Each structure stands twice: as C-alpha cells, then as structure tokens.
Structure 1
Amino acid sequence: MGPQARAGDADAVPAQPQPQPQLAISPHLVGAWSAGVIDPRSWGFGSEPAHEYVVRTRASRLRTLRRIIAGLPDAVSLMRPAIWPAEYGDEHSGIRRLESRWAAAWNHRQQLQPQTGASGPSRIRGAPDPSTDAPWMHRSQPRPAPVRDRRPPQPLPAAPAQPAELTPRQRVRAALRSDDTDIASLAEAHPSSPEWAHTWRAATSAALDRPGRVVVWRLLHGKLFVGAFHRHIHRGTPESHLCPHAACQEQLATLSHVMLSCPVSQAAWHWFAATWAAVTQQPAPPLHADLLLADDRRGPWQPAAGLDSLWQRLRLLVITQLWDAYCRARSRPEQPTQPAHIAARVISAARIQMRRDWLLVGSDIRLRAGVLSHWLRGRQPTMTAEAFQSRWCHEEVLCSRPAEVTEPPHMHWTAAHPVPLPR
C-alpha cells in the first residue's frame, strides 16, 4: 500500500495540502519569466518600483555630479575636447592645431634622423651602436644595502592641518561616497556648464552602439588611429600613413582629411546636408570641421528647436560610417568604397534605430529582455509615442507613426527619398 490512502478507506486521513516553497526573488531579477510572479508594488519605495527608484536616483546623481565637475575651474581645461577650437573657425586651434603639432613633431624627427652614407648609417654622437649594443654592456644598478646596515625608518613629519573649507573637487568626491548629499545645493553652487558639454553627452548617449561611441570618443580626444596619428606614434609603414581611397592620390590621412576633405567624405557630407535640408525645410548646414566633427554651434548656423536629437543622431552616424569606410579601404584595397555605400549604411543604421526606439513605446524592455535589470542601466527602458514622434517623425519625411503600437513604424527614408544616394 502506497503512502496515499485509498478513496474508500474509512480510516484514511485527508491529504493535507503541501505548503508551496516561498521564492526569495531579488528585486534585480526582473525578466519575462518573473513578470507574473512579482508585484513591483510589494517591494517598491512608496508607489515606485525599487529598480526604477535605484536606477533613476543613481542616474540623476551621476548626471548632476558630471555637471558639477564640468563647472569646476580646474577641470574645465582637462575635460575640453582636443578638437574644440578656441573660437569658431579659428585656424590655429582645435583640430588644425592638433594636426600641425603632429606634422611639426614628424619634421623634427626627420631632421634628427641620421643620414645614410656610403659606409653605412651614421648615428648621433654619444648614441650607442645598435649593432653592438647589448643590455649586459651597460652598468648594472647598485645593489641595495643589507637589511642590518639600513637605518630604521624615521617617523613621518606631522601632516599639515586640513583646511576647514573643502575645495570643489573634495566636495564632489565626498558626494560620490555619500548617499545623503544634497545634490540640489551642490548644483546651485556650480550651475553653469561649459559650452562644449553637449559634445560629451552626445558621445556617451544611447544613440550609438559601443563601437560607435569608441569612435566618437577617440575623435573628440584627437586619438583616432588615422595615418597621420600612426606616423606620430611611430607605427606602420609610410604607405599605411596615406589615405587608402583611390581618389585621394596618396594624400596624408589626417583627421580632417579622412572625415571631411577626402572626395569620398565630401560627397557623403554633401548628401547629408541635402538630406537635412529636405527633412527640415531649412538651409543646409555648412560643411565645416568645427560644426560637423566637434559640433561647435558658435557659428551662424544652428539646428532648429526640437531637432537637436535628430541632428546628433544623423551626424554621429555619418562619422561612424566614414570611419568604417576608411578601415575597410585599408584592409581591402581591392574593393573601392563609393560615397553611395556610406550613405546606404547610414540609412540602414537609422532605420534600425527607428525600429528599436519603437519597441520601447509598446512595452518596458526590462520585462521582456529576460536578463538582470541592472544590465540595462544605460538606455531608457520606455519611450512615449510623442517622444518617438518628435525624434524621427518630423514632417513625416523619414518615418511616420503607425496607428497601433503593435505595428512597425512606416519607413519613408529610402535610397531615392528624400534625396537620392550620392554618386
């Protein structure tokens, strides 16, 4: 007879319901598999779920602290982008000064380079001969004294008294360590932001994937691995320092050449300017390095109100696709890159971003991802239909919003509309 009693047995004891095991689920474990198990109101702070409260509070704190750090007098010069000019259109600062410094360092090395004669390469007086020099020929470092002969450690002098008032940097560090700091009071102490602060926000935004953010970040620092930079840091061959595009006729691959003055880049930027004019019904942006690469808006041209997000996204997409075209031309010189290829890739990347943004309108991405919620801290989990409309659906030229959330957005941006691909 089994452990369970028979149905007709009078002495049978009714089966007791087995207690269900209580699942200890962390607030961070929010996914599609746990959406029906956890009630966010049961473990939230007030009427807000815990994960939303933590993410929103931490993001607000870091965003405010970045503004505070950017407003510090001693941090402004360190955080200023290397390609940002002192004035708009200045020919002696920004990216032009960076490239001229690379060229001056290269010319200086060429002058100091030993001349090759009939008897072989000569070397600078006092320099070791690389053919006969070895590490064992140099005088070794003196051995330390034995422990018994060393003097005992002397007490350190008394540290000077700390000032009663903390410096701005010390206040920021204390705010990073503390959770009870009044962020509003710190923000009021340094309410101003530098005029180039929006360039860093655009470089770290969620509009680009990780490779795209790396490209823009290196470009702002002036450390993008173009041919001129490779030559500056003693890498590559003289042939690799030239622009790989056939139309350039072996010109040096500087930052401004690869991103702006190359014939392939020029055609891509002309197509971008014509597309912007067709979408916004406004004058096309000037093809200026300060505006297109550093996003310096101190000039006469400004994007219209409400179109800043669209301007940043399209501009950064063109920059990343130009860099991809340069890398492909270097690795595969037998396959020439045309401006139409770059424009087509920009359209494809923009359409992918439109679809991804529309997915955030219908539902919360954290509840559908099936991963830990703190993995998704860098992107907005939801988006309103009005925000999508203002971002992509200006005059319904590039995209239009569907009637139902479950339907995909209507894409109007193609290779022929609103501007044909460049040739």
Structure 2
Amino acid sequence: MVRACRTRDFSAIFHLVRRRSGIYPSRIAALCGMTPSRVGEIMNGQRRLAHIDVIERVADGLRIPGAMLGLAHRPWEIPPRAVVAEPEPPAADRAEHAPTTHEDRSARLDDILSFVDEDRVTRSTLVAIQSAIEDYWRRDDQHGGAPLRPAVVGQLRHVLRLVDTTAEGELKRGLQSLAAELARLAGWSYFDARQYSTARSYFTQALHLAQETGDRQFTANVLSCMSLQTTYEGDASEAVSLACAAQDAARDTAPAALVMSMLHMREAFAHASLRDAVACHRAVATAHSHFERSTSQGQPPTWVRYFDETKLVVDTGIALAQLGEARRAEPLIAEGLRREKGTQQRGRAFHAFWLATTQFQQGSLDQACGTAGVALDLATSVDSPRVAGHVREFHARLQPYARETPVIAFEARMREAFS
C-alpha cells in the first residue's frame, strides 16, 4: 500500500482495499464519491486519477493518511485535542529555531483577531453575521458551494473564537446558534463537492453546537442533512434511522409542521433508495399532511422556508422516480421545474436530471437526452460536483444505446461541457 500510494497507483490501491478489507467496488465508489463504473475502470487500468480534489476524496473516503499520497494532513487524521506533545522549549528557543509555517501565520492571525474583537460583540454583530449566512446560502444555490468554502470555514472559525471570548448570556447563545448554522453550511458545501468525510465532520460539529444551545428544530435539521448524505453514500438503512431521529428531535416543538414535512420527505428518500414502496408512500403522505397544517401555524425557522409547495411537489416526484414509478413522477417534477425561479441554478439542474431519468425509464430516449442536455447546461453554470456526478451517472445509463443519434448528440455536448 505504501508503494502504491507513493506512485499514486489507484488501481493497486483499490485492489488492496478490496482484497484486504473485503470492500466491494460499489462501496469504494460510495466512500470516494465516484460511480461504480469509474472505480471499475480505474481497477482495470483504463483510467488514472490526477485531479487533486478526487485524490483528496479517495484519501478521505478510504482513510488513507494524507502524507502517504503527498497531501497535507487530512482533517480527520489527528484531532487537535488528542495530540500529546512533549513539553515545549522556552519561547526564546522556539522563536530562534522554529520555521514560520502557514499554520503558524494562521494562528497568529487568530490571536490578532481575537484581541481586536474582545468585548465588542453586540446585537448588531449577530445581525451582521446572520445576514452573511443568508447571503452565503443564496450564492450557494446560485453558483454552487465550492467558491464559498474558504469564506464559510473562515467565518465559522471567527464566530467560534467570539464564542470563547464572550461571557455567558444571550449574546453567547446567539453566537453558538450562528456557529451551528455556519458549521452546517460548511458541511453542506463539502457534501455538494462530494467530499463526504469532511462534510460529516462539519455536520457533527453543527450537531454538537445545536445540542448545546438546546435548539431541537435545528438539531433535527442537521440530522436531516446527515440522512441525505448517508443516502448518497449508499447506506439507506442508516439514512432512515437519521431521518427518524430528526423527527424525534423536532416533535412537539412549535411551530413544527413545515419542519416535520421536510423531515418526512427526507425519510421518503431513504425508503425509496431501499425500494420500500409502502414505507416511502407513507412518508410522502405524512409530509403532505404536515405541509397542509403548516399554513395555519406561525412563522417557521428561516432555514426551512425554502421547503415551499413547489419543493414539496418536486421532491415527491423524485421519491417516486427513485421507486421506479416514472409515470407518476414525471408530471410532478416537470411542474416543479416550471414553477422554479431562474436563479436556483443548482436545484433546477438537479431536478432536470431527475426529469430526464423518468423519461428514460419510460423509454423516451430522445426526450430524455434533450432534458439531460438542459441539466448539463445548468450543471456547467454552477460549481457543484454532486450535480455534475448525476449527469455523468445518467450518461452511464445510456451506454446500451451508444449508437443512437440522441445519445451521440448528448455525448458531444457533454464532452464540450466537461472538457
């Protein structure tokens, strides 16, 4: 393994993982954010990995220490609090002998910012940070999360530093809530980049912060994100458990109807992945029932207001599409796409992919390729490896029809878009 990592021979790495750990290629694909066909090509020596983002995903997914692959230490390798170091030399010796690293400069900057911000947290501070978070979400939906990650992670570190230097009270609790929102946003942006291990660490941090504040609804929100990611990673049973845990956390809170509607739809996605039609339909019906009651309740939390009637309709269609009920799913997804605003590029790309899937399931190859072309055009306008991955998965399904004219035309557009 050491030799394979030194030369970045991922064919050998995957074979070793399969032989020594008993992990099938489909599981390797889920862990590394790839398609099973791509893993198969790598194992057969037909494809090599060179892009640093993909190599990082492999390191995180298979828990290969960064140094073995010529990368920086991965975030999960050595938790800061678990490091037991020898007694430090005197400050004068450290200054004389220690080289100045990027981490040292970052730490010094943190110290400076901490000093500057000391005792200066006010209500307007909280309002400004909340406004920044809302702007991050808008830009994430419009352009994808990749360009935002450095800013979001930096903002999270800044808020956590303010939490440490703020006295107990309303302002500190407000900062903790904002830190939980930023940690969830960081987790979501890494999830959208299909860097699942890093995403999980931020979601876990968000969960702990939400529990510290006693915000049961936001705790449920983070659990729902973890459920969706687990569905993507191929562990649908665990995704069901997380969705149900989220429902338990939010139950009997007020107002909870819209939150519960969203959570039951997340449960439906997990049941659909398990091909459990009865449980999926039951979860969808419960989601609709809660949504109907939500109109008579007070204002829900800001983070769930995206889940409007259009989102309910299109998510219902996606759940049915995952079950293979394409005829029922197609008009729902098409209606959702018709209603959606033009600025929600990533959502529209994602929904166009599912519409193409339902059309393909019904044998409409020409129509499916046309709709997939729309998804492709939208996918190239946002930086979202998750959406791009869906488009590539759709292309893989077209292989039996590779000689058909619509497929040839779609492949040409895809090569141009992803070149």
- TM-score w.r.t. structure 1 length? 0.26
Higher relative contact order (CA 8 A, sep 6+): 1
Compare CA radii of gyration and give the structure with the larger one.
1
